[in-house]
Chains A and B, each alone.
Chain A
Amino acid sequence: MKKSNTVLNRLFRNRLAIIGMLMVFTVFACAIFASFIAPRDPNLMDLANSLLPVGSNQHVLGTDEFGRDLLSRLIYGARISLTVAVFAVLMGGTIGTVLGLTAGYYGGKIEAVTMRIMDALFAFPTVLLAITLMTVLGQGLNNLILAISIVAIPGFARIVRGETLVIKNEEYIEVIRSLGASDARIVFRHILPNCVASITVYASMCTAGAILSEASLSFLGLGIQPPTATWGTILRGGQEFLAVSPQIATCSGLAILITVLGFNLFGDGLRDALDPKLKQ
């Protein structure tokens, strides 16, 4: 209890981490309350008012080529981007954690085979692995989540395995084992809780990466398809109208930047709070 209080104190003393948290909360709030916040239906077309500039009457950020309200599309875009990122990290994180725990705890051939596969997956540049998976799986929300979660697995597996290797040799684990606790109990009740801090920090950074991956895939036309509003698809659409309506590409990119930066600032702050020695 004392330790968690110290960590929280350190986290809340870090101004950049607070700024990061605020950025993330704002984007989450936009995603959750999109239907209340967005001034218009994000897919409502109004061709008579297409490509309106910033500050136009009733369209604060202007409109796209179909006359759809850009601000509303960006607010709704947060919903898809965060859904993909959060579910992909949850899925990849769960699988990676289980693999890392198993490899680290049992060691031997299980560890050798698991970690070799993880090394091989790690050898793929992330976006390229996601591109390959999406080319094969086809477009769509579920496939996008699946592709990004597969990309996330090796990172979690490596981190959790490393932590497990250290924790399993602690004296208290020996004591618990000698008292007759099962492997599953040792792993899930005693080792996993001690890995949570590292998992949380990595998950925060990984969510930032997942948002970038989702945007990259949608930008390449492999992710979510129009008319659904995502930041990547809005940016892809804005590319064609860069000269006449630069705000489409600019604002959608800024939305991605702010969210990713928020997650990175929070992740950095959390890491420093958990291990102040790393704050260099």
Chain B
Amino acid sequence: MLRFIVHRFFGFISIMFIVSIVIFSITRMIPGDPAAVLLGPQATLADIEAMRERLGLNQPYLVQYASFLTGLLHGDLGTSIYYHQSVMSLILERLPNTIILGTTALAIAITVAIPMGVLSATKQYSLWDYGGMMVALIGVSMPVFWLGLMLVLLFSVNLGWLPATGMGSMKEGLWDFISHLILPSIALSTIPMATLARITRSSTLEVIRSDYVRTARAKGLSETVVIWKHAFRNALIPLLTVLGLQISNMLSGAVLTETIFSWPGMGRLIVDAIEKRDFVMVQGNVLFVVTIFVTVNLIIDILYAVANPKISVKSTGRE
């Protein structure tokens, strides 16, 4: 197991190293002089030179990369060109809001997807199955920003039940906080919900055909106990991996959802940075998001191996 963890950890380091090169290279792909592009057409030569100096663009690429990497290792993602503040401090300011939105969306997704997937599997080829999987397929195909707008149209514009934008405050009461959270979290939960439902169905179908489930039934256990206590527990393992991948979808979705609902999170910060062409901010945010995603998947890989030791043997090639 230790060998597996060390193996995975080195994989994590190498991926993060390549990610840092990719992000560094992308930001150097700006056509022409990045300093001139950032300052706009009215900038004087002196301004451009000062900006080049500030961004370290006068130094050779290797030196620039070394300084970028050293900064990263110290948790320094650079200084925002627009806000003139540390990118990391701006991210940490907004991160809790994205976590609130993301975890609520994930909770909704899991709560709906798992019963839906299990029901589809246990009633395979029934109306429940076709209906549930069709809804899941529509969920995967739906643009998250469009669903957000449709929710606003129905629940805010037409019915006037829920606020259309912004984040509520606990100081204004619990309902203010929850009412602002409902629509964005439903919008953000759709894609993970649909994907999880499809995976739950296929992994449950695989398990309910196995011998031990047949034995459990033969012992006279009720169908509820057979499904939820015996079958579902084992079907849960592949779900873990998919759940890790869904975090990537959620982080992408957060950019669009937070834009629609003016939610003051990291996604909104990225969109603001794009509008202001603050590429240091975009690069810092993207790097932060990728680090979260890779770390979460590393943890899930390890948890998966703990739950199923065969994985660690296979992955390290000791068969």
Contact = CB atoms under 8 A, between A and B. Distances in A.
- Is chain B found bound to chain A in the same assembly? yes
Interface of A: 116-117, 119-121, 123-129, 131-133, 135-138, 208, 212, 215-216, 219-222, 235, 238-239, 242-243, 246, 249-250, 252-253, 256-257, 260-261, 264-265, 268, 280
Contact of B149 (A116, A136, A212, A235): A235
Nearest to B14: A116
B145 interface: yes
Interface residues of B, number: 52
The 3 closest A-B pairs by CB, nearest first: A253-B146, A120-B18, A127-B252
A135 B256 contact: no
A151 to B, nearest CB: 11
13 contacts: A120-B15, A120-B18, A126-B252, A128-B255, A216-B256, A219-B256, A235-B145, A242-B149, A242-B153, A243-B157, A249-B153, A253-B150, A257-B142
Contacts of A250: 150, 153
Interface stretch (B27-35, B45-53, B66-74, B226-234): B27-35
Nearest to B144: A216
A126 B191 CA distance: 14
Contacts of A238: 149
B242 interface: no
A116 B18 contact: yes
Interface string B258-287: 011000000000110011010100110010
B143 A256 contact: yes
Interface stretch (B167-175, B289-297, B310-318): B289-297
B196 interface: no
Contacts of A125: 248-249, 251-252, 289-290, 293
Contact of B274 (A119, A212, A220, A243): A220
Contact of B289 (A116, A128, A135, A212): A128
B137 interface: yes
Given A132-B286, A239-B149, 6 more contacts: A123-B15, A124-B19, A128-B270, A136-B279, A222-B274, A257-B143
Nearest to A117: B18
Contact of A235 (B146, B152, B251): B146
A135 B18 contact: no
A221 B255 CA distance: 13
A179 B249 CA distance: 48
B37 to A, nearest CB: 9
B93 interface: no
A242 to B, nearest CB: 6
Contacts of A256: 143, 146
Nearest to B130: A16
Given A125-B248, A220-B274, A257-B141, A132 B18 contact: no
